[in-house]
Chain A
């Protein structure tokens, strides 16, 4: 609060320098008056524009009729009161749970064939477990919300006093003071800032992912409100639009001092954006809490279910149908028996029947019996399936969390499976939609190279060059042998080429300076003065240090200077200039001060440059210029911008270096660097003054064509430029990103990049991470600019886009070259049209044909819409990965959302299903964990169905022999324990520990991943196969036992088998059969699997022993010790049935492996025979073949690069054109 006097001095009136964009406001300046509410204001007061805000009078908003929600936000699903009913409701929305609930209720009635406990206990267990999980997850959300709600902000308490208050206590109408680097607590109207002219810088990273700062500017009329005290009597009223999710529009009027002023989006500060480069601002709260635009943008986080689970539901429906069918058969059978036979069964005393089996009302009895049968055969639908799957997934998630290979040492963050629902979905991903900033890139620019006066400086190599060099060095000359794994060896600092040329790696050279990786002795330490073109180089450095809008910040402790720049590029330039000896250290209203140090020996000189004009950057102009007067009184125009723009504006005598520079720019571009061309122009005093007059005139123009005027005037001066050189900045990719993209592409995944950035930036990044490369045919879709009449323009734009898409499709279709790769680049505006219903399929079809797709300038909502389009259009699993709040929509929309838990806030992570700390971990997450989890879950579910069919159907068969009476041949306890204890652990161990191949092999053979997207392990063929196997097993178990125990004595003592003996034997057979089955299914036995599988069988015997000891049991008393144990027939039957059940499956897998082996089978065998060690060339060759041939990605790129270098070698002989290190 206490404003330091010193800071006041720093206050600048930017409006004097700035020309465009944010300064549309002067228009309202001039029109300051009631008429200002002309354009947007007319709607105010109408429907959808009813909000009234009494500024600085929040009391009015605490009660009706103007009561608006407080700033309290809640993203939780439940609260203390609603948790229980709501969570229970959620649980019983699952059909299966509802069914089990029904059976549990019915178990209290006499129709139930089992004891109520055996029905209710498992259900309570299942539901309880799931509810606890829900509760814990919601609690975490609550804690997160509380953190946000309890943040503090300075609020006007009246009488010009500001005090800190929690965010949640903020009200509409409150005046708040937000200080530097704080987040705005709500949507605010900017009143004034620490800058005299009321501008402030805002970082909207959390809203749209853009990292460059945006300028906001208050209305002139509120500028005087710059002190705490001035708010004492501040009263104003805002009438504006109702809460809506549109981030970039705002319509409203400010009624202040009996006049009406129009408010436009430039005065609105949105919640979740951050104040930057500005000491403080005052603002009045317009939208609070859930009314704020960012909250309106957030969509309800959908509960996601994996494809496998959805299919599983389908299977459950099928099983349910089977269940109903056999129950119907049973009940009809029962009714018939009751009607026809029961009267004759005197031993049942039919004359004393109750309703349940009344021979005189067979239909009624049949209906009752239907319920009994539904419960009895309920074992077909495994209640424990859900519990087991839930448990398995939690354990799988635990493994993901614990994976040391996904631990980021820098941040100390591990991968986190935030919901465990989707583990197996990771193994089936088809398309990845990725955010750019913060996900692929670190948003850190490194000055890497430059071209000055036609000479390229900078010996550091970008990653692409490096790998290409390495590839060359490893001598992969033989074209037949495809690329080896470029990334396998550790990065070495220097790679010796065959010809004795060294590549050096800039990044690792020395203690690196942030944003500066440049290395070339010709320029460093003042050596540039010895270069032939030193005067041009001097100019180049001056442009770097002067042509910008940054503000220096001096760290008082160390005296070092950091720069607050609008974009990271600018920051990198300034750091570079500083390193070259041109330290920008001070900016005043009209001047820029630079400390120059030309040679290392000489001291520094401080120079002051008077800034006359500043023509700043915008995406339309693609250039920025400063006009300044140096100490000699010379007027200079420095201009930097996109090469195409600059080259168009060069003077005849300014094209000296054009050819060389163009070549360098191409090289840089190919190396994935962001390039800008630098130029200057000398201005005559007279020339400038005449232009200046015109410029001033344009600047004061009133009306809509002011901007056009300004542009036109700027254009007049920004020509006749003289090219100085070009810069190449590496947009630092996150560690391992190109490799990861490469590998993911090799695993057959499609990668789309969705970014809020400009098209050029996006394309650059496309190059840097190898999604684009030279030689790729690029299809750019954008809406031609310059539309005036809104109505017509829309139609025209749409038509032009339609045409572009059609042309693109045609181009793709007609291309005969199989290696041709297409890249689609689409811009946000075009996307808005392309996403409309009539066009989206065309667009999607084109996009599918393209090897890589980049969408730029997309809003968060569009990201989500694109994701939905891909998800629904392709019908395959999509994964969205991002790090900022602007990615939340897409993360929630995609089948799987992955959040990068980096530096940008937590929204993305909070909304995500998985969070990782670096993009590169995605590879392991998908290729290793996804692959494993997919197979595990798929096999587990198949086995579950097998097991329950094998068991459940035997109960049905028995009914046919028990007059359909609902009697089970098994003891209640056997049935209860079957799913819960006796067969659960092996299947859980299958689901948790099974590995078809080890993690290294998963990574080495990306093709194995395709088993997931192709769904080889959960297709209908396989599911039905398993079900058939279950059916067969049930038949074998029941009828073999039936025949063995039919009527004969079972022992030498002459005793015959009673129901308990038959049931127990059959149950023993089932236990053996299903456990042997799982042993055959598993391919990976650690001690845990051994323990669980064999332990389950042992447990059964122990259980039957123990159970036989308790008197509670009826006919099972001492059944093993006395009845069955001594009977050889029992053991013989067990052996026979177990073998008979498993032989068909054994035949199947033996045959499949010998005649139709799957990839993992062969690899298992290679590993088993240690062939990978013995025949390493084969192993290596296969490994590289296992990669999908890709058109994108690093490998493709390196291939191209090698061809290029080879070509050069061929032409020029051994002399490489790559810089040599002496």
Chain B
């Protein structure tokens, strides 16, 4: 709590050694000059001149509008056939009690739908099933899996996080465990054009990395769907998980409660007005939660599926930018302000306002 001044009386002899030494010592305490420490680093100081503003907006507009046009065209090229079949496939006498229908395994679930091709469709044609109001993104659902178990046969016992579908009643681990796998989608489709069967290629509908790294080649389903509660599809215990591509696709949980998943591809061109007969087995229960089921046949372009939104948004944003470019040009003409005009300094503008 006291001053150093008293200390100097003791340290005085040191200082008396010579002013030169003292000065040298002081100079070493001088901060070293560097552009960094003095905050004088060379810097580029861009400022928004009218030229810049107009050209930025204009350039963004000029880039965005073509992108919008191109993606809109691409989206327009896509031919898409959507068929909702969940209602239609319920037998007429059970429309009042769909739940009983779907839960009664003794009632045959076969159903035939006819699709009309509205436009020529170039192969490959993608077959999707679309579910509605199905919360694959529910936290309880998303958590309920174990990746280690899927990848490694020696870790079959690792069923942590798989509640409530971890083990069978007698404690044997379920492979693959968890709600996701348990609720695997199990509707099947068989397509025919007239009498000609259209084979659905179910190979490589999943991501390559999933097949090769995340689902083991030597991991086989075991104890799956053996319990009292049967969820969705059963798996052939003799086929390794890496080849169960439907499962792999299903396990990629969707972000939204409405989602499509790839079912397979048809490598046949379809002509306008072709009639496609679909024989499907309507097994999957969406009736209890009022979800829709749709079958989708769609082509794809370089940009993906039928997605007008992207093109329109690009056009809107691009158009807005071009409009802004003009608006600012106009503004600069109507209300020009010379750059660096000192009259705009606050002390010149409000001389009285001090």
Contacts and interface: CB of A to CB of B under 8 A. Distances in A.
A1051 B78 CA distance: 12
Interface stretch (A421-429, A707-715, A787-795, A1146-1154): A1146-1154
A1168 B47 contact: yes
A1150 B164 contact: no
Interface stretch (A404-412, A467-475, A539-547): A404-412
B289 to A, nearest CB: 4
Contact of B302 (A354, A962, A999, A1128): A1128
Contact of B126 (A1047, A1054, A1182): A1054
B198 interface: no
Nearest to B253: A1059
Contacts of A349: 164-165, 179, 182, 229
B198 to A, nearest CB: 16
Nearest to B132: A1047
A885 B339 CA distance: 52
Interface stretch (B105-113, B167-175, B270-278, B309-317): B309-317
Contacts of A407: 30-31
Given A183-B2, A349-B165, A1162-B344, A402 B37 contact: yes
A346 interface: yes
A1054 B5 contact: no
B135 to A, nearest CB: 5
A905 B317 contact: no
Interface in A785-814: none
A1178 interface: yes
A961 B257 contact: yes
B346 A1007 contact: yes
Interface string B31-74: 10100011111111111111001001100100010010001000
A999 B43 CA distance: 14
A414 B31 contact: yes
A1085 B43 contact: yes
A1085 B43 CA distance: 5
Contact of B137 (A182, A206, A967, A1007): A967
A850 B280 CA distance: 93
Interface stretch (B83-91, B139-147, B236-244): B139-147
A1143 B332 contact: no
A272 B4 CA distance: 11
Given A183-B3, A349-B179, A1132 B303 contact: yes
Contact of A1059 (B137, B140, B305, B339): B137
A667 interface: no
A1046 B141 CA distance: 20
Given A399-B37, A995-B39, A1086-B42, A206 B3 contact: yes
B307 interface: yes
Interface stretch (A85-93, A943-951, A1133-1141): A1133-1141
B137 A1149 contact: no
Contact of A403 (B31, B60, B310): B31
Given A1047-B260, A1154-B337, A414 B29 contact: yes
A73 interface: yes
Contacts, number: 350
B26 A75 contact: no
Interface string B1-15: 111111101000000
A346 B289 contact: yes
B326 interface: no
Contact of B289 (A345, A1044, A1057, A1168): A345
Given A1062-B255, A1157-B344, A1165 B209 contact: no
A1147 B314 CA distance: 18
Contacts of B93: none
A1058 B253 contact: yes
B138 A1054 contact: no
Interface residues of B, number: 115
Nearest to A901: B4
Contact of A1162 (B1, B253, B342): B342
A1132 B345 CA distance: 42
Residue picked from A1063, A1150, A1153, A1178, most chain B C-beta under 10 Å: A1150
Given A148-B1, A995-B39, A345 B135 contact: yes
Given A1045-B255, A1136-B317, A1162-B345, A412 B39 contact: no
Residue picked from B50, B163, B252, B259, most chain A C-beta under 10 Å: B252
Residue picked from A341, A1047, A1159, most chain B C-beta under 10 Å: A1047
Given A348-B141, A1086-B41, A1054 B134 contact: no
B321 interface: yes
B293 interface: no
B135 A1052 contact: no
A357 interface: yes
A972 B268 CA distance: 43
A352 B164 contact: yes
Contacts of B71: 1132
Given A298-B1, A1048-B307, A1139-B64, A967 B139 contact: yes
B303 A1128 contact: yes
Contact of A183 (B6, B56, B252): B6
Interface stretch (A59-67, A1114-1122, A1195-1203): A1114-1122
Interface stretch (A658-666, A674-682, A1184-1192): A1184-1192
B48 A1054 contact: no
B304 A1127 contact: yes
Contacts of B214: 1111, 1114, 1117
A1063 B335 CA distance: 45
A552 interface: no
A341 B289 contact: yes
A428 to B, nearest CB: 17
B300 interface: yes
A1139 B304 contact: no
Interface in B220-249: 229, 231-232
B320 interface: yes
B81 to A, nearest CB: 14
A348 B178 CA distance: 10
A195 to B, nearest CB: 21
B247 to A, nearest CB: 14
Contacts of A1208: none
A625 interface: no
Contacts of A148: 1-2
Contacts of A1171: 340
Residue picked from B9, B41, B256, most chain A C-beta under 10 Å: B256
B281 interface: no
B126 A1159 contact: no
Nearest to B42: A1086
A407 B30 CA distance: 7
Contact of B255 (A145, A885, A963, A1058): A1058
25 contacts: A294-B1, A295-B1, A344-B290, A345-B138, A349-B164, A349-B165, A353-B164, A357-B140, A404-B33, A412-B27, A906-B4, A1007-B347, A1043-B313, A1048-B306, A1049-B126, A1054-B124, A1059-B254, A1083-B46, A1117-B209, A1118-B209, A1122-B207, A1136-B314, A1165-B47, A1165-B339, A1182-B348
Closest A-B pairs by Cβ, 6 of them: A905-B3, A412-B26, A1048-B305, A352-B164, A1165-B340, A1054-B126
Interface of A: 73, 75, 113, 145, 147-148, 151, 181-183, 206, 272, 274, 294-295, 298, 341, 344-349, 352-354, 357, 398-399, 401-405, 407, 409, 411-414, 885, 903-907, 932, 961-963, 965-967, 969, 993, 995, 998-999, 1007, 1040, 1042-1063, 1083-1089, 1111, 1114-1115, 1117-1118, 1122-1123, 1127-1129, 1132-1133, 1135-1136, 1139-1140, 1143, 1146-1147, 1149-1151, 1153-1155, 1157-1159, 1161-1169, 1171, 1178, 1181-1182, 1185-1186, 1188-1189
Given A1048-B305, A1154-B337, A1163-B345, 17 more contacts: A151-B7, A354-B163, A414-B29, A903-B5, A906-B2, A963-B257, A965-B137, A993-B39, A1049-B260, A1058-B252, A1058-B255, A1127-B304, A1149-B48, A1150-B48, A1155-B331, A1165-B49, A1185-B348
